[in-house]
């Protein structure tokens, strides 16, 4: 069925998500925190003593539902292109949010060239009229071009500085990391089933893109914010290649005031896995 641009842009969704302390801890374990039992900075995320919530946990709260989940497109040819979060407060260890979703844009690249779709979700702590977070999800549908949407107007990607990085952080991933991360809500068999992964062209299961997204946030905080989660105000990135569990992700970072640009590579394969990254750090969010 052909997409209708006017109908697509008019779509709205409203969802409610609850979580508890264990959900936040499990997410932190899934992004590789807590591997060193003597690292007190990381233990705050994976134990109940003075528990903190890692800021990219917002992607879990905004993962399910939304206009993109209801698009009548061929999921076999859908790719997760970009992701962005903007935070307005620290996420509590347990609670409930109401999310309000809408389409921000749909850009038609033409027949045989695919289409780009972007949705926005605003997350509100239940009972509050002030947003806790804003989440943008961009997807590329390789089989969806030619539906009549605009070809121009898509926001340009962030450009990283043309100079040597100011810092590099290497983050190893565990061989079973995808098996842990999936318990935060992404049950796609691509991340756990060797047979499924081979059936769509991968040699083995790949790590979740949003897990790699969180690894780059870990690097930003480690390099320029003393690991303080409440200092991350925004984080966005473009996915360019998969990471296989067990690989080491090397994150190059450039700081210009409160803006941190970044890209990530798996040096062993000479593969750039994250491009056009941009984070904003500042005073701790309350």
Q: Which of 83, 158, 191, 233 is labelled catalytic?
A: 191
CA distance 99 to 132: 10
Do 215 and 169 meet the contact criterion of CB atoms below 8 Å apart? no
d(CA 46, CA 39): 11
Out of 83, 108, 158, 186, pick the active-site residue.
186
Question: CA torsion sign, 264 to 277 to 213 to 22?
Answer: positive
Q: Which two tokens stand for residue 213?
A: 């997204």
Do 261 and 234 touch, CB atoms closer than 8 A?
A: no
Q: State the Cα–Cα distance between residues 136 and 25, nearest whole angstrom.
A: 24
* CA 235 – CA 247 distance, rounded (Å): 23
Cα separation, 213 vs 270, whole angstroms:
18
> Is 191 known to be catalytic?
yes
Q: How far is CA 156 from CA 7, 112, 150, 236, 257, in A?
A: 25, 22, 15, 13, 21
* DSSP H or E segment with residue 115: strand 115-125
Q: For residues 201 and 207, give the distance between their C-alpha atoms in angstroms, rounded to a whole number.
A: 15
Q: Which residues are catalytic?
A: 186, 191
């Amino acid at each position: 069925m052909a997409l209708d641009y006017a109908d697509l842009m008019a779509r709205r969704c409203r969802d409610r998500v609850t979580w508890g302390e264990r959900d936040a801890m499990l997410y932190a374990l899934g992004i590789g925190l807590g591997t060193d039992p003597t690292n007190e900075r990381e233990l705050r995320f994976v134990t109940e003593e003075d528990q903190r919530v890692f800021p990219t946990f917002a992607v879990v709260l905004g993962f399910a539902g939304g206009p993109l989940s209801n698009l009548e497109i061929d999921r076999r040819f859908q790719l997760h292109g970009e992701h962005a979060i903007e935070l307005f407060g620290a996420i509590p260890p347990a609670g409930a949010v109401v999310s309000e979703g809408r389409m921000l844009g749909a850009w038609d690249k033409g027949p045989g060239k695919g289409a780009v779709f972007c949705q926005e979700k605003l997350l509100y702590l239940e009972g509050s009229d002030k947003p806790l977070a804003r989440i943008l999800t961009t997807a590329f549908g390789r089989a969806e071009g030619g539906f009549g949407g605009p070809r121009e107007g898509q926001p340009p990607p962030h450009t990283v500085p043309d100079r040597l990085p100011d810092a590099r952080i290497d983050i190893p991933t565990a061989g079973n990391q995808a098996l842990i991360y999936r318990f935060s809500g992404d049950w796609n068999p691509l991340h756990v089933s060797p047979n499924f992964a081979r059936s769509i062209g991968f040699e083995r299961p790949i790590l979740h893109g949003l897990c790699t997204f969180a690894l780059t946030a870990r690097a930003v905080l480690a390099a320029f914010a003393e690991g303080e989660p409440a200092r991350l105000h925004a984080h966005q990135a473009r996915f360019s290649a998969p990471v296989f569990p067990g690989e080491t992700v090397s994150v190059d970072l450039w700081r210009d005031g409160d803006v941190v640009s970044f890209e990530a590579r798996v040096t062993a394969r000479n593969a750039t896995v994250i491009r056009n990254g941009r984070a904003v750090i500042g005073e701790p969010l309350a």
